[in-house]
Chain A
Amino acid sequence: MKSSVIIFPGSNCDRDMDVALKKFGFKNTMVWHNDLSIPKSDLIVLPGGFSYGDYLRCGSIASKSKIIKSVIDFANSGGLVLGICNGFQILTETGLLPGILQQNKYLNFICKNVFVKIKNKKNKYFKGIKKDILELHIAHNEGNFFCTKNELKILEDNDQIAVTYCNSEGLENEENNPNGAIKNIAGIFNKNNNVLGMMPHPERMIDQYLSGEDGSLFFENLLGNLR
Protein backbone atom coordinates (compact mmCIF):
# COMPACT_ATOMS: atom_id res chain seq x y z
CA MET A 1 0.00 0.00 0.00
CA LYS A 2 1.25 3.45 -0.90
CA SER A 3 0.91 6.60 1.16
CA SER A 4 1.95 10.23 0.75
CA VAL A 5 2.64 12.74 3.51
CA ILE A 6 2.41 16.40 2.53
CA ILE A 7 5.06 18.68 4.03
CA PHE A 8 4.19 22.35 4.52
CA PRO A 9 6.68 24.89 5.82
CA GLY A 10 6.16 24.55 9.58
CA SER A 11 4.94 20.95 9.55
CA ASN A 12 6.67 19.12 12.39
CA CYS A 13 4.99 15.72 12.64
CA ASP A 14 5.69 14.79 9.03
CA ARG A 15 8.69 12.59 9.85
CA ASP A 16 6.98 10.90 12.81
CA MET A 17 4.14 10.06 10.45
CA ASP A 18 6.63 8.77 7.86
CA VAL A 19 8.22 6.49 10.49
CA ALA A 20 4.81 5.23 11.66
CA LEU A 21 3.50 4.52 8.14
CA LYS A 22 6.68 2.66 7.16
CA LYS A 23 6.75 0.69 10.41
CA PHE A 24 3.40 -0.87 9.55
CA GLY A 25 4.20 -1.55 5.92
CA PHE A 26 3.16 1.48 3.89
CA LYS A 27 5.46 2.55 1.08
CA ASN A 28 5.52 6.24 1.92
CA THR A 29 6.53 9.27 -0.15
CA MET A 30 7.05 12.77 1.21
CA VAL A 31 5.45 15.46 -0.97
CA TRP A 32 6.42 19.15 -0.84
CA HIS A 33 3.67 21.79 -0.62
CA ASN A 34 4.84 23.55 -3.78
CA ASP A 35 4.44 20.43 -5.92
CA LEU A 36 1.42 20.23 -8.16
CA SER A 37 0.79 16.50 -8.10
CA ILE A 38 0.87 13.61 -5.67
CA PRO A 39 2.22 10.16 -6.62
CA LYS A 40 -0.37 7.41 -6.88
CA SER A 41 -1.43 6.74 -3.29
CA ASP A 42 -3.90 4.71 -1.27
CA LEU A 43 -3.71 7.23 1.56
CA ILE A 44 -2.74 10.92 1.79
CA VAL A 45 -1.78 12.33 5.18
CA LEU A 46 -1.74 15.99 6.20
CA PRO A 47 0.56 15.96 9.24
CA GLY A 48 0.58 17.99 12.42
CA GLY A 49 2.61 21.12 13.04
CA PHE A 50 2.25 24.81 12.41
CA SER A 51 1.92 25.16 8.64
CA TYR A 52 2.95 28.64 7.47
CA GLY A 53 3.43 29.64 11.10
CA ASP A 54 -0.31 29.35 11.76
CA TYR A 55 -0.63 32.83 10.26
CA LEU A 56 -4.13 34.32 9.85
CA ARG A 57 -5.92 31.20 11.16
CA CYS A 58 -4.48 27.72 11.74
CA GLY A 59 -4.46 25.86 8.43
CA SER A 60 -5.88 28.73 6.38
CA ILE A 61 -2.76 29.45 4.30
CA ALA A 62 -2.06 25.75 3.74
CA SER A 63 -5.64 25.34 2.52
CA LYS A 64 -4.75 27.60 -0.43
CA SER A 65 -1.31 26.07 -1.14
CA LYS A 66 -0.32 24.70 -4.56
CA ILE A 67 -0.56 21.02 -3.61
CA ILE A 68 -3.99 21.30 -2.02
CA LYS A 69 -5.99 21.06 -5.26
CA SER A 70 -4.59 17.55 -5.80
CA VAL A 71 -5.56 16.63 -2.23
CA ILE A 72 -9.11 17.92 -2.74
CA ASP A 73 -9.47 16.12 -6.09
CA PHE A 74 -8.17 12.90 -4.50
CA ALA A 75 -10.65 13.22 -1.61
CA ASN A 76 -13.54 14.02 -3.94
CA SER A 77 -12.77 10.91 -5.99
CA GLY A 78 -13.09 8.78 -2.84
CA GLY A 79 -9.42 8.58 -1.82
CA LEU A 80 -8.49 8.31 1.85
CA VAL A 81 -7.25 11.60 3.33
CA LEU A 82 -6.17 11.65 6.97
CA GLY A 83 -5.49 14.99 8.68
CA ILE A 84 -3.89 14.93 12.12
CA CYS A 85 -3.91 18.03 14.35
CA ASN A 86 -2.81 20.85 12.01
CA GLY A 87 -3.89 18.53 9.20
CA PHE A 88 -7.41 18.51 10.69
CA GLN A 89 -7.32 22.31 10.83
CA ILE A 90 -6.27 22.42 7.16
CA LEU A 91 -9.11 20.04 6.19
CA THR A 92 -11.73 22.30 7.79
CA GLU A 93 -10.25 25.35 6.06
CA THR A 94 -10.42 23.62 2.65
CA GLY A 95 -14.08 22.83 3.26
CA LEU A 96 -13.51 19.07 2.96
CA LEU A 97 -14.66 18.86 6.58
CA PRO A 98 -17.20 21.16 8.26
CA GLY A 99 -16.58 23.43 11.27
CA ILE A 100 -13.40 25.00 12.58
CA LEU A 101 -10.82 24.39 15.33
CA GLN A 102 -10.85 27.37 17.65
CA GLN A 103 -8.45 28.30 20.40
CA ASN A 104 -8.67 26.02 23.44
CA LYS A 105 -11.30 27.15 25.91
CA TYR A 106 -8.85 27.85 28.74
CA LEU A 107 -6.21 29.48 26.46
CA ASN A 108 -3.57 26.90 27.28
CA PHE A 109 -1.43 24.75 25.00
CA ILE A 110 -2.36 21.19 25.90
CA CYS A 111 0.21 18.41 25.60
CA LYS A 112 -0.86 15.14 27.21
CA ASN A 113 -2.30 11.68 26.69
CA VAL A 114 -6.07 11.45 26.40
CA PHE A 115 -8.64 8.74 25.83
CA VAL A 116 -10.93 8.87 22.84
CA LYS A 117 -13.97 6.78 22.06
CA ILE A 118 -14.45 5.49 18.51
CA LYS A 119 -17.97 6.46 17.46
CA ASN A 120 -18.19 4.98 13.99
CA LYS A 121 -16.48 1.81 12.81
CA LYS A 122 -18.20 1.56 9.44
CA ASN A 123 -15.21 2.91 7.55
CA LYS A 124 -11.69 2.04 6.37
CA TYR A 125 -10.06 3.73 9.35
CA PHE A 126 -11.73 1.89 12.23
CA LYS A 127 -13.50 -1.14 10.74
CA GLY A 128 -12.59 -4.20 12.79
CA ILE A 129 -10.39 -2.35 15.29
CA LYS A 130 -10.20 -4.39 18.49
CA LYS A 131 -10.70 -1.56 20.99
CA ASP A 132 -13.52 0.97 21.46
CA ILE A 133 -11.41 3.39 23.50
CA LEU A 134 -7.92 4.43 22.44
CA GLU A 135 -5.24 6.19 24.45
CA LEU A 136 -3.64 8.77 22.15
CA HIS A 137 -1.59 11.95 22.52
CA ILE A 138 -2.75 15.52 21.94
CA ALA A 139 -0.57 18.61 21.58
CA HIS A 140 -2.38 21.72 20.42
CA ASN A 141 -3.45 25.27 21.14
CA GLU A 142 -6.38 25.30 18.71
CA GLY A 143 -8.33 22.07 19.10
CA ASN A 144 -11.64 23.41 20.30
CA PHE A 145 -13.96 22.06 17.60
CA PHE A 146 -16.84 24.37 16.77
CA CYS A 147 -19.58 24.26 14.16
CA THR A 148 -23.07 25.67 13.67
CA LYS A 149 -26.07 23.87 15.20
CA ASN A 150 -27.16 22.92 11.73
CA GLU A 151 -23.76 21.44 10.86
CA LEU A 152 -23.69 19.54 14.15
CA LYS A 153 -27.07 18.01 13.39
CA ILE A 154 -25.81 16.90 9.97
CA LEU A 155 -22.67 15.41 11.58
CA GLU A 156 -24.78 13.48 14.09
CA ASP A 157 -27.47 12.38 11.62
CA ASN A 158 -24.88 11.08 9.14
CA ASP A 159 -22.73 9.38 11.78
CA GLN A 160 -19.80 11.64 10.86
CA ILE A 161 -18.41 11.99 14.39
CA ALA A 162 -15.30 9.78 14.42
CA VAL A 163 -13.82 10.08 17.91
CA THR A 164 -14.75 11.92 21.11
CA TYR A 165 -12.74 12.76 24.24
CA CYS A 166 -13.61 10.55 27.21
CA ASN A 167 -12.01 8.90 30.23
CA SER A 168 -10.54 5.38 30.31
CA GLU A 169 -14.03 3.99 30.88
CA GLY A 170 -15.50 5.85 27.92
CA LEU A 171 -17.32 8.56 29.89
CA GLU A 172 -17.73 11.62 27.68
CA ASN A 173 -18.30 14.67 29.85
CA GLU A 174 -17.05 18.20 30.51
CA GLU A 175 -14.37 16.91 32.88
CA ASN A 176 -12.87 14.75 30.16
CA ASN A 177 -13.06 17.46 27.52
CA PRO A 178 -9.57 18.99 27.36
CA ASN A 179 -10.22 21.94 25.05
CA GLY A 180 -13.92 22.83 25.12
CA ALA A 181 -14.77 21.09 21.84
CA ILE A 182 -18.47 20.93 21.09
CA LYS A 183 -19.88 17.50 22.14
CA ASN A 184 -16.32 16.42 23.12
CA ILE A 185 -15.51 16.01 19.41
CA ALA A 186 -11.89 15.02 18.77
CA GLY A 187 -12.29 13.95 15.15
CA ILE A 188 -14.83 13.87 12.33
CA PHE A 189 -15.41 12.30 8.93
CA ASN A 190 -16.75 13.79 5.73
CA LYS A 191 -20.05 12.41 4.43
CA ASN A 192 -18.47 9.45 2.64
CA ASN A 193 -16.17 8.59 5.56
CA ASN A 194 -13.07 8.73 3.35
CA VAL A 195 -11.74 11.97 4.84
CA LEU A 196 -10.86 11.85 8.56
CA GLY A 197 -9.60 14.80 10.58
CA MET A 198 -8.64 14.37 14.23
CA MET A 199 -6.65 16.25 16.85
CA PRO A 200 -5.01 13.22 18.58
CA HIS A 201 -1.73 11.89 17.16
CA PRO A 202 -1.75 8.10 16.55
CA GLU A 203 1.79 8.36 15.14
CA ARG A 204 3.02 9.23 18.65
CA MET A 205 1.72 5.99 20.14
CA ILE A 206 3.54 3.30 18.22
CA ASP A 207 6.20 2.17 20.66
CA GLN A 208 5.56 -0.01 23.69
CA TYR A 209 8.52 1.45 25.60
CA LEU A 210 8.11 5.15 24.77
CA SER A 211 4.37 5.65 24.69
CA GLY A 212 1.76 3.00 24.31
CA GLU A 213 0.60 1.12 21.30
CA ASP A 214 -2.93 2.25 20.59
CA GLY A 215 -1.49 4.14 17.60
CA SER A 216 -0.02 0.86 16.34
CA LEU A 217 -3.49 -0.63 16.57
CA PHE A 218 -4.84 2.23 14.42
CA PHE A 219 -2.21 1.91 11.67
CA GLU A 220 -2.24 -1.90 11.58
CA ASN A 221 -6.00 -1.90 11.34
CA LEU A 222 -6.04 0.77 8.61
CA LEU A 223 -3.46 -1.11 6.56
CA GLY A 224 -5.43 -4.35 6.99
CA ASN A 225 -8.59 -2.64 5.73
CA LEU A 226 -6.77 -1.31 2.66
CA ARG A 227 -5.31 -4.67 1.65
Chain B
Amino acid sequence: MKFKVIVTLKNGVLDPQGKAIQQTLNGMSFSNIEEIRQGKFFEITVNENNEAKAKEQVDEMCKKLLANLVIEDYKII
Protein backbone atom coordinates (compact mmCIF):
# COMPACT_ATOMS: atom_id res chain seq x y z
CA MET B 1 0.00 0.00 0.00
CA LYS B 2 1.41 3.37 -1.04
CA PHE B 3 1.25 6.61 0.88
CA LYS B 4 2.50 10.08 0.16
CA VAL B 5 3.59 12.33 2.96
CA ILE B 6 4.17 16.05 2.74
CA VAL B 7 6.08 17.78 5.52
CA THR B 8 5.92 21.56 5.64
CA LEU B 9 7.09 24.24 8.02
CA LYS B 10 4.38 25.53 10.33
CA ASN B 11 2.91 28.95 9.69
CA GLY B 12 5.06 31.65 11.21
CA VAL B 13 8.27 29.58 11.16
CA LEU B 14 10.98 31.34 9.18
CA ASP B 15 11.81 29.59 5.89
CA PRO B 16 15.02 31.17 4.56
CA GLN B 17 15.31 28.65 1.70
CA GLY B 18 11.79 29.40 0.51
CA LYS B 19 12.61 33.08 0.64
CA ALA B 20 15.83 32.64 -1.36
CA ILE B 21 13.94 30.65 -4.01
CA GLN B 22 11.29 33.33 -4.18
CA GLN B 23 13.87 36.07 -4.62
CA THR B 24 15.55 34.09 -7.39
CA LEU B 25 12.23 33.61 -9.17
CA ASN B 26 11.51 37.30 -8.75
CA GLY B 27 14.85 37.99 -10.40
CA MET B 28 13.83 35.69 -13.28
CA SER B 29 10.88 38.05 -13.85
CA PHE B 30 8.25 35.95 -12.09
CA SER B 31 7.33 39.09 -10.25
CA ASN B 32 3.87 38.18 -8.95
CA ILE B 33 4.87 35.51 -6.40
CA GLU B 34 3.44 36.25 -3.00
CA GLU B 35 5.29 33.59 -1.01
CA ILE B 36 7.17 30.29 -1.39
CA ARG B 37 7.45 27.76 1.41
CA GLN B 38 9.72 24.78 0.87
CA GLY B 39 8.83 21.34 2.24
CA LYS B 40 9.67 17.64 1.98
CA PHE B 41 7.89 14.85 0.10
CA PHE B 42 8.01 11.13 0.92
CA GLU B 43 6.59 8.09 -0.91
CA ILE B 44 6.14 5.21 1.49
CA THR B 45 5.21 1.68 0.46
CA VAL B 46 3.92 -0.37 3.38
CA ASN B 47 3.53 -4.15 3.32
CA GLU B 48 0.05 -4.18 4.79
CA ASN B 49 -3.40 -4.84 3.29
CA ASN B 50 -5.47 -3.15 5.96
CA GLU B 51 -5.57 0.50 4.92
CA ALA B 52 -6.55 1.92 8.29
CA LYS B 53 -3.76 -0.01 9.99
CA ALA B 54 -1.17 1.05 7.41
CA LYS B 55 -2.21 4.68 7.65
CA GLU B 56 -1.94 4.54 11.40
CA GLN B 57 1.61 3.25 11.01
CA VAL B 58 2.54 6.01 8.61
CA ASP B 59 1.06 8.53 11.00
CA GLU B 60 3.32 7.19 13.72
CA MET B 61 6.35 7.37 11.40
CA CYS B 62 5.57 11.03 10.77
CA LYS B 63 5.27 11.83 14.45
CA LYS B 64 8.38 9.90 15.49
CA LEU B 65 10.80 10.66 12.67
CA LEU B 66 9.67 12.26 9.42
CA ALA B 67 8.47 15.54 10.92
CA ASN B 68 9.72 17.54 13.87
CA LEU B 69 6.50 18.81 15.38
CA VAL B 70 8.20 21.81 16.99
CA ILE B 71 8.42 23.49 13.58
CA GLU B 72 6.77 21.16 11.05
CA ASP B 73 3.31 19.91 10.08
CA TYR B 74 2.63 16.81 7.99
CA LYS B 75 -0.08 15.62 5.69
CA ILE B 76 -0.67 12.01 4.58
CA ILE B 77 -2.24 11.71 1.14
Partner-B contacts on A (CB < 8 A): 56-57, 60, 64, 93, 98-100, 102-107, 144, 146-148, 151, 180
Beta-carbon contacts under 8 Å, B1-47 to A: 13-14, 16-17, 20
Q: Which residue of A lies closest to B71 (CB)?
A: A100
Whether B70 is near chain A, meaning CB under 8 Å from some CB there, is yes
Chain B residues with Cβ under 8 A from A99's Cβ?
Answer: 70
Can you offer 12 A-B residue contacts whose CB atoms are under 8 A? Answer: A56-B65, A56-B66, A60-B65, A93-B68, A99-B70, A100-B70, A102-B13, A106-B16, A107-B20, A146-B14, A146-B71, A151-B70
Kindly provide the distance from the CB of B14 to the nearest chain A CB, expressed in whole angstroms: 7
Kindly provide the distance from the CB of A150 to the nearest chain B CB, expressed in whole angstroms: 11
A105 contacts B68, C-beta separation under 8 Å: no
Chain A residues with Cβ under 8 A from B65's Cβ?
Answer: 56, 60, 64
A102 contacts B17, C-beta separation under 8 Å: no
Kindly provide the distance from the CB of B75 to the nearest chain A CB, expressed in whole angstroms: 17
Chain B residues with Cβ under 8 A from A103's Cβ?
Answer: 16-17
Chain B residues with Cβ under 8 A from A104's Cβ?
Answer: 16
Q: Binding site of A, secondary structure by majority: helix, strand, loop or mixed?
A: loop
Of the candidates B16, B66, B71, which one forms a contact with A105 in the assembled complex, judged by CB atoms under 8 Å apart? B16
Chain A residues with Cβ under 8 A from B68's Cβ?
Answer: 57, 60, 93, 100
Total B residues in contact with A, Cβ cutoff 8 Å: 10
Q: Which residue of B lies closest to A106 (CB)?
A: B16
Bound Cα distance from A104 to B17, whole angstroms: 10
Bound Cα distance from A64 to B61, whole angstroms: 12
Bound Cα distance from A180 to B65, whole angstroms: 25
Task: Name the 6 nearest CB pairs between A and B, nearest first.
Answer: A100-B70, A107-B16, A100-B68, A100-B71, A103-B16, A107-B20
Chain B residues with Cβ under 8 A from A151's Cβ?
Answer: 70
With contact pairs A60-B65, A64-B65 given, residues A147 and B70 touching in the complex (Cβ less than 8 Å): yes
Kindly provide the distance from the CB of A72 to the nearest chain B CB, expressed in whole angstroms: 14
Given contacts A60-B68, A105-B14, A107-B16, 5 further A-B contacts (CB under 8 A): A56-B66, A60-B65, A102-B71, A104-B16, A146-B71
B70 contacts A148, C-beta separation under 8 Å: yes
Kindly provide the distance from the CB of B47 to the nearest chain A CB, expressed in whole angstroms: 21
Chain B residues with Cβ under 8 A from A106's Cβ?
Answer: 16
Kindly provide the distance from the CB of A183 to the nearest chain B CB, expressed in whole angstroms: 15
Chain B residues with Cβ under 8 A from A93's Cβ?
Answer: 68
Q: Which residue of B lies closest to A108 (CB)?
A: B16
Bound Cα distance from A180 to B17, whole angstroms: 14
Bound Cα distance from A175 to B20, whole angstroms: 21
A146 contacts B70, C-beta separation under 8 Å: yes
Bound Cα distance from A148 to B72, whole angstroms: 12
A146 contacts B16, C-beta separation under 8 Å: no
Kindly provide the distance from the CB of B12 to the nearest chain A CB, expressed in whole angstroms: 10
B14 contacts A102, C-beta separation under 8 Å: yes
